[in-house]
Structure 1
């Protein structure tokens, strides 16, 4: 069963696109971070604080595999760091997966994240553009394992969803 995976840096639109793509295609949508929080009965921030990042990354990998092994098509948005750990980037190329890297440039990401209050990773960051640039540099290698790269800069949500939907329809 086909799994649609959305990959990208925080603020690239994974959750927003996933929800809208779900409405467009009729496929169920799962945000991996939300799924983990429900399964662990803790917020991501609480998991990091009480159990540590190593525990979180192991569980993240396990829960992702659980979703990928469901016998139903589904849209999954990954956390920004998910592809970078536990060889998760290799899962982006599985036969039952269509993976999309929602590629946003630094300017787009800064504009979307500069006022974000709900992003713990960004608390106490003085130079947001440099922080994002460094992270993108480190993570791009893993993001680029995605089968399709979708430029999300200066595009409306509907346009991005239609672009992804066309690819999904071609592959089915």
Structure 2
């Protein structure tokens, strides 16, 4: 017996699609592939922040602190939310900011890429550029972040698991969840 696809969690109407979730959830990697499938531009908010500041995120954290970075992040995401159809990958903390979250929830379709702590730890260990993990146990940091952030991510219009599967499986799950 063929299984029918799940009904959409939210129907996409052409507004920006904003990927949210913890570091390592696959927002940038999956976002690029999703944008290709939808024939939309892809924007990585972290890259835009670095370009606007003229320094890396790690340098911003080291020189000016997390709050400086978060202020820039909020401004850049507000600029990106211009109504034009696109896929935007945000940093893990962007959706925590109440102003940014409200803007995304009203002006875009928020998609939460939800991954287990084990999957996230495996992914973040492959890259050492994450300021919140420097000198710390990634599993402990991710558990603490999940405790605070997951209830906020749960406000997203769509929730899609980000498991250890090919990226195209996650992209297909997003497309199905948004009715595409």
TM-score by length of 1: 0.88
| Kept after mapping to 2: 8 A contact 1:92/1:145 | no
Q: Hey, which bits of structure 1, 4+ residues long, moved more than 4 A?
A: none
Q: Which moved more, 1:2-11 or 1:131-140?
A: 131-140
Which residue number in structure 1 is paired with residue 66 of structure 2?
53
Q: 2:55 matched to 1:42?
A: yes
Inter-CA distance 158–115: structure 2 relative to 1 (3 Å threshold): closer
| Kept after mapping to 2: 8 A contact 1:83/1:142 | yes
Task: Give the Cα separation in 2 of the matches to 1:52 and 1:25.
Answer: 37
Which residue number in structure 1 is paired with residue 165 of structure 2?
155
Q: Which residue, 4, 12, 17 being the options, matches 2:30?
A: 17
Q: Report how far residue 154 of structure 1 moved.
A: 3.3
Which residue number in structure 2 is paired with residue 75 of structure 1?
87
Q: Report how far residue 86 of structure 1 moved.
A: 4.5
**1:80-119 counterparts in 2 under 5 A?**
80-94=92-106, 96-119=107-130
Inter-CA distance 119–57: structure 2 relative to 1 (3 Å threshold): closer
Q: Report how far residue 169 of structure 1 moved.
A: 4.4
Task: Give the Cα separation in 2 of the matches to 1:129 and 1:47.
Answer: 24
Q: Report how far residue 156 of structure 1 moved.
A: 2.0
Q: Report how far residue 61 of structure 1 moved.
A: 0.9
Q: Report how far residue 168 of structure 1 moved.
A: 3.8
TM-superposition CA deviations, 1:45-98 (whole Å, max 9, x none): 2222333322222221111111102x521110110111112532222321x311
Task: Give the Cα separation in 2 of the matches to 1:51 and 1:118.
Answer: 17
TM-score by length of 2: 0.85
Q: Which residue, 149, 165, 180 being the options, matches 1:139?
A: 149
Aligned residues: 167
Task: Give the Cα separation in 2 of the matches to 1:13 and 1:161.
Answer: 10
Task: Give the Cα separation in 1 of the matches to 2:165 and 2:146.
Answer: 20
Inter-CA distance 86–59: structure 2 relative to 1 (3 Å threshold): farther
Task: Give the Cα separation in 2 of the matches to 1:72 and 1:97.
Answer: 10
**Gaps in structure 2 of 5+ consecutive residues:** 1-13
